[in-house]
Structure 1
């Protein structure tokens, strides 16, 4: 009986089960080789650590010889130092690490037991030699410790024993220091030979001395004994240095160096062995993985072929048919009969065939409904666009209802933006002169400079004048090349469309709107602009009427204000004259108030009184000038007189020296002039001026009345001023 899988999910489960099985095999193999690799890697790391610890121990040994052996602290602490402590710690670590490596499970497979035993033995021997080295260093001493201290004491005794041989003693000490510094036996032999010759010389002297010179003989023998003691200690030090090693390759130092070299060699061999085994393991794992991957690849290809043949091919056929149906191809249901499988894909193809038949009928119904809905949506969008546009322009009318230029610019700019145009302008009829009607450009947006240099457009002049004459909307899609250009960063371009709409209200022409665009205006846009033009026309008519009313009101208010001011000035002057006559009669009865009388007379005869110093800088001004000519109190003090008075200065100013001069009789001759108020307005006056000398001080007085103010006759003024000057 043939076994078949009729369900797609059964086929997929079988394929996934096979893949999971092979994946499990790969995981098990990976775990095995990873564990082996980690073991080898751990062993390699331990060998590297052992090598590093060996080098660290050697460094501590060298530092001990370089620093601790010549440090007084080391001898004070009785052979204890930081380098010795670190050496002992690292030596203990080496011992533990060797023990750990010996217990490694891979060690039996590598056959490196002899190498590890040799390494352990070498480290033990190294520790023994190093301990011997530290004891010899401590026994040798330094400065005030050990043999070197004893040798120095003997040398000092030599210096005290025979001061006459100081030169020979200095040579001995120099050979001693040369040996200690350079570790060369040549200097030791020189010291021995020199000491021997000195002793022989002393013994010859003893032999030549008589027995009666016993004190001198004892002194020489004591010197010889001290020299023998000094030489003995020096010889011990030389022997210790020889045992330690005069160079790195001699004595204990040479042994330590050779041991470290052997340890390095053994560790290198051990490391190479482990590394070789690790590489072999990696190669073996790679081969196993390659075989498994090849098997997996063939299995995947087989599964892929099976699924392609039994599942993917029918699905692809169904997808192509679906796409053809989506692209609008008809009569595709017959191709669905090509899917003959008994699984879910076959059922899907048959069900889809039934669905397609029903869907085709539904699509036709939906297309008809969509066409109606699209038409309605388009009309609704156009209506909403018009409504929003009217709302925007109504806001502009509210904000700029009293200024034609601002309203025209805002409307033009917003209309260009709202309709997506490139340029726009608004022309308004200038009807200031009924006999000369013309249109002028009130506002433009994005026009090039050469467009409408002359802002005047007459009736019938160009397209604008033609639209004015005809009174109809003009939509041009074939724009003449020389009519207008749209300038941008890419250069100049000819527009595609020009729309010219008359602005009129109840057949009354008010202006023209011109829009230039790269796109052709749609019908609803033209209708919107035509409806908007009626609202624009109403606004322009209202603003023009308002401006005419304002001008008339301003003229009437100005004339009324001037009449009131003239009447007020006449009343004020009449009252001042009556008041002055009354006061003048009272002051004439009191001689003690003579000065007040003169001042009052002047103030009443002349409305303005101005006093300057000899440089014609204003020092005093009466209240009339401040109030009449709108200056603040004290504002004119310190200013030049020509800031206030303007007259024919040919007889008053020396033009070369820029200073005033009085070339006519003081207070005798009136001249015409003008007084300048703070706003720069000139008032005609009759002015009388004169020069007064008070002690050594010179002042100039200027008196004036406005031409339309009632004042006394010049003869009475002259008599009164003459009396003032004489006083």
Structure 2
């Protein structure tokens, strides 16, 4: 008995089982390819996020570097132990970066020699950066501050000269002190030359005095010690860097920029590879789906010569489907195997329609589309729905990450490069936050004694001039600062605040108050009001941002206070001298 005769003698349902079994096999292959491609795509996307995180941590390392070089090395903790919160924070971030790079090297799904070479290059540059930072820390500890290190020895030498009983010219001593202070303030080597010239003249005049006077040799010895210590400090300052672009500090600044650029390029490389993998997966799925259609066409063609009019109708429907057109629904007038076949085909066409429409929406980036509930229980539907959910989650996570990184970069750009007054800095900060979060108004408060002084107010794209003081512990803002805890409410107390625009006044829908905490000290708070409810990631963004803002504002206030104190001290000294 021939194979053809055996096939013709089979019951219709067995023939259909053979036909649809072939199609089902291709469907399973299609699902497996889709799942494998999905895992590869998500793995690469996760890889890109890790590189982004490393870049973000490198930015934080640079912030620690700048804060340490600006004021951090002057703390008693660092001067006495060689370590501080800034150096510890730097080390934590650096360890995290190296850990991320180690994870990237061990990623099996990214076997690329160029990628590995770039990773090794970045790791080498980061190790070199870390060595230079440790050298910078050692230099700052050697230099010291006030009673520590070389500066402490310099002060001892100054006191020895000032307390000497030898009748030296005090005007010349004051001139030396002036050149010394000018160098520390301006970091200009011309003051070193002036200091050394004045020291030589001072020493020569002392040497001319009668040798019989008691203390002459001792004064000369102290002058020499004073000059030597000052020159030693200048030498250390030159190694550190008199400007942000010179010395070890300049090299670190340049290298930090270069490493960030390398990490950015590495992220782009991963994204391009991820896009290529997505395209490849799509091509494979389309190819398998096309093969599935071709097999369906062949089976329809064979059955058209075997079966009756009903089979011919089924064949016509399959041909139409193979040409890329969905056939009309077949009429079912019986309950035999052919009727079951028509019913199965109708369901298949409907499922393919749903799957194609759903896949088309996904391809167009419309992740809000929902799969038809009638067909969401089969294997293909579940796999596509699972892919849809994972893409939707990954897209949302990527959006939040990108949004947060962009916002942090904008605010940090203002914080790092701002050199204006505290009021202007506050205006720029609250303006950027209000506009970036798209809220309706915001205010920035700083602690002034036992009160909170409103530093800046911004609403409806305009700066507001509001001079308001709040007692500590009074109201929501005062309570937030007192308890060092964030406040977010959506049911505001009546009359607490209102949002004013050209259309009138209205009560905000939500209020967020975040304390500004730097080095465990509260210095103020940020208050944001909106006519909508804030999202969780927006609130988390403001919390993270408050740490950087608090640190910069504290440094700014400290600088202003120190400059005022220093100016007053110098004025008092010269005033006492001339009077």
Please give the range of the TM-score, normalised by the shorter of the 2 chains.
Answer: 0.3 to 0.5
Give 1 or 2: higher helix fraction. 2
TM-score by length of 1: 0.39
